[in-house]
Amino acid sequence: MTSLKGRPDFEEHCQQHRRFIEELSRMRDQSSADTAGAMKDLVDFLNAWLYEHILKSDRTLAVCLNEQNAKVHMKEH
Ligand SMILES: [Fe+2]
């Protein structure tokens, strides 16, 4: 993964993870006020984020990593 450092799409990917953690922290702080509402918001947020992130961002990153691994493998042989 560190070989992708500096690429704009990788930096955006890392930013998505940071925003994810920030949003979870915000929801945790809010949960004491309205537990049922907070749980629904949390489940909705996790569903949407994980679906979008895994299907788009993680998949794109996986393609990049596979291409890099293939190039390294080609150089070795
Ligand atoms: Fe990710």
The DSSP secondary structure of the chain, one letter per residue, reads -GGGTT-HHHHHHHHHHHHHHHHHHHHHHHHTT-HHHHHHHHHHHHHHHHHHIIIIIIHHHHHHHHHHHHHHHHHH-
| Domain regions of the chain by residue span | 2-76
Q: How far is the CA of 42 from the centre of ligand 1 (A)?
A: 18
Q: How far is the CA of 49 from the centre of ligand 1 (A)?
A: 10
Distance of CA 33 from the midpoint of ligand 1 (Å): 30
pLDDT (tens digit, 9 = 90+) per residue, 19-53?
999 998 888 888 777 788 888 889 999 999 999 99
Output the CA 53–ligand 1 centroid distance in Å.
Answer: 6
What pLDDT is attached to residue 27?
A: 85
Nearest C-alpha neighbor of 54 from the set 5, 20, 6: 20
